[in-house]
């Protein structure tokens, strides 16, 4: 089930189902609002944006109420998460999935929001989107690729292709006057195969693992799996997470890996050594250094949607 596409004039509600909204700076909020306003959207904020507890988040009930209100408000057409964090999976047992299903809307965020996106799609069949947070729109350089991909996924009905951006970076772009170091970008092929079509699931691997063994995990057989690591994880975490994932799903259609932040110390040599452990990964399409995760810019992944992976063309076609 696809939510109605975003249109100029639509209201987008910003909620903070993970870390508190107070992690954002006033200047960053102003810049993100202006960029989204320039795209033609009206931006509103949930009621509990100023709440913050000792863990840097807010109460479960505050976050649940804000999410439910955003979905039930008929004026709201899209929902963006403010930022990621570590605890959005706390909300899952308390969510009214029937309410969400009755009021389908665009729901988008990444990192810790992986848990919410995949769980909502599993329980409601509504497509969700692992893509930019509200705070992601304050980025200036490299923003055109990110914005275009977001709008292709959320504001059009047509199928669309995604391929590598010309450049990538991992700088502190959220600072008022960031110094950017741009590098030529290329998606790299670990395993070539003929084009395959499957259903998209995944996102941040550490967060996705939190769904294993729960009623919120989607059926991953024949899925196209997207996985990436955040800065606080290292190559050991990725190796363990991938092993766990391939014990949960035995026949994925493809494995797509987001570019690793430098803090993870996941060198190409280490990554290839990890992938080489699994004969399965020499039989299905596997691409790495892709534009999603914790480097910039990122494209938007429609969770629950069909896609075709073409390693020869180094592109994904979303339907």
Active site residues: 111, 228, 294
Q: Compute CA distances 102 → 16, 50, 125, whole Å.
A: 22, 29, 11
- Phi, psi of 271, deg, nearest 5: -60, -45
How far is the C-alpha of 125 from the C-alpha of 78, rounded, in Å?
17
How far is the C-alpha of 18 from the C-alpha of 113, rounded, in Å?
7
Q: Compute CA distances 189 → 103, 230, 269, whole Å.
A: 40, 21, 14
Can you list the alpha helix ranges (DSSP code H) found in 5-85? 26-38, 60-72
Q: Compute CA distances 60 → 23, 50, 194, 201, whole Å.
A: 17, 14, 45, 25
How far is the C-alpha of 229 from the C-alpha of 237, rounded, in Å?
8
* Residues 157, 306, 271: CA angle, nearest 5 degrees: 125
For 154, counting Cβ atoms within 10 Å of its Cβ (0-12 exposed, 13-18 middle, 19+ buried), the class is buried
Spatial contact of 151 and 40, defined as CB atoms under 8 Å apart:
no
Give buried/exposed letters for 18-34 (b at 16+ CB in 10 A, else e).
bbbbbbbeeebbebbbe
Can you list the alpha helix ranges (DSSP code H) found in 210-267? 235-248
How far is the C-alpha of 26 from the C-alpha of 201, rounded, in Å?
34
Q: Compute CA distances 79 → 75, 107, 270, 296, whole Å.
A: 11, 5, 37, 21
């Amino acid at each position: 089930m696809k939510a109605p596409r975003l249109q100029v004039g639509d209201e987008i509600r910003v909620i903070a189902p993970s870390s508190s909204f107070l992690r954002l700076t006033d200047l960053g909020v102003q810049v993100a609002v202006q960029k989204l306003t320039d795209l033609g959207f009206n931006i509103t904020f949930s009621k509990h944006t100023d709440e913050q507890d000792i863990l840097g988040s807010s109460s479960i009930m505050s976050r649940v109420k804000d999410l439910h209100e955003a979905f039930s408000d008929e004026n709201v057409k899209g929902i963006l998460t403010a930022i990621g964090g570590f605890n959005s999976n706390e909300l899952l047992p308390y969510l009214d999935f029937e309410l969400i299903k009755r009021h389908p809307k665009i729901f988008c965020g990444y990192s810790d929001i992986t848990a919410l996106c995949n769980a909502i799609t599993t329980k409601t069949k509504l497509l969700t989107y692992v893509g930019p947070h509200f705070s992601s729109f304050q980025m200036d350089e490299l923003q055109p690729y990110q914005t275009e991909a977001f709008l292709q996924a959320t504001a059009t009905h047509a199928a669309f292709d995604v391929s590598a951006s010309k450049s990538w970076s991992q700088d502190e772009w959220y600072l008022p006057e960031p110094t950017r170091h741009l590098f030529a970008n290329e998606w790299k092929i670990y395993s070539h195969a003929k084009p395959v079509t499957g259903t998209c699931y995944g996102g941040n691997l550490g967060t996705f693992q939190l769904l294993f063994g729960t009623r919120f995990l989607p059926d991953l057989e024949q899925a196209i799996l997207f996985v990436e690591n955040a800065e606080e994880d290292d190559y050991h975490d990725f190796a363990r997470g991938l092993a766990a994932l391939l014990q949960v799903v035995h026949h994925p259609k493809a494995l797509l890996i987001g570019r690793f932040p430098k803090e993870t110390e996941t060198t190409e040599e280490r990554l290839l050594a990890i992938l080489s452990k699994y004969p399965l990964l020499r039989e299905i399409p596997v691409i790495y250094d892709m534009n999603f995760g914790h480097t910039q810019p990122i494209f938007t992944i429609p969770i629950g949607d069909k896609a075709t992976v073409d390693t020869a063309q180094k592109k994904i076609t979303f339907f």
